Amino acid sequence: MIDEQPTEEQPRKRQGSFWRELPILLGVAVLVAILVRAFVVQTFYIPSGSMEHTLERLDRVLVNKVVYHLREPARGEIIVFEAPLHWRSDPNEKDFIKRVIAVGGDHLACCDPQQRLLINGVPLDEPYIYSHNGVQDPAAPSHFEVVIPPGRLWVLGDHRSASGDSMDHYQRSGGDLMASTISVDSVIGRAFLLFWPPSRATWLSVPDTFDVVPEPGSVASTGQPIEPVPADPPGALSAAPSG
């Protein structure tokens, strides 16, 4: 058997093959990145203070775009969605980020004697609501009582006094639930990770307070639904709009 000795041409051939394959490899990498961004995970930056201090201006988050193809959004999750046209102060800013407070069928009211929102008769403690110098934003700027339509979501910013959200548009529309809620179909995905700046990196998990919320139509944990305090007269305070 004769051993074939390597020649100088063989390394040259391998090197030439690499350079011929490189554009294909780069093309595949670009295609994979495009597909991942379009269908799996996408980054978004925070343009306003409507989610302070959970999310600050110019924070960047990762958004899971697959999860809501498998199930619907749940209470407490932070979502990115395509805002209705009448929610947009700038037509070019269509993607909003808010927290899901109530889902289709939920009975939502403000407020109990401790000024907490009530979901299906159970008061909701909200430690994530914006506070400044020890003073926390109110859970809602006025008293109300609604049942969320099927296939719709009631979403609020954590900075309640600076958020163009369901409460703001409920007041602007005179109590029109279709104008103040968003469609489940408009949701782009769930924000699950704050990754920039690195000093603030954290998982965006659902607060434990939502664990005690019963499903629509069930009896509150106290045995009876908790009634909201009487509603304020018309013309109550409105929240300042902000995406």
Question: Which sequence positions are flagged as catalytic?
Answer: 50, 98
Q: How many CB atoms lie within 10 A of CB 198?
A: 7
Q: Are 30 and 36 in contact (CB under 8 A)?
A: no
Burial class of residue 109 in the structure, from the number of CB atoms within 10 Å of its CB (0-12 exposed, 13-18 middle, 19+ buried): buried
Residue 162: what residue type?
A: A
Distance CA 79, CA 88 (A): 17
**DSSP letters of 19-34?**
HHHHHHHHHHHHHHHH
Q: Which residues pair with 173 in a beta bridge?
A: none
Q: Which of 174, 206, 157, 147 is nearest to 48 (CA)?
A: 157
Q: Which of 72, 138, 159, 145 is nearest to 108 (CA)?
A: 145
Q: Are 174 and 153 in contact (CB under 8 A)?
A: no
Distance CA 23, CA 26 (A): 5
Residue 80: what residue type?
A: V
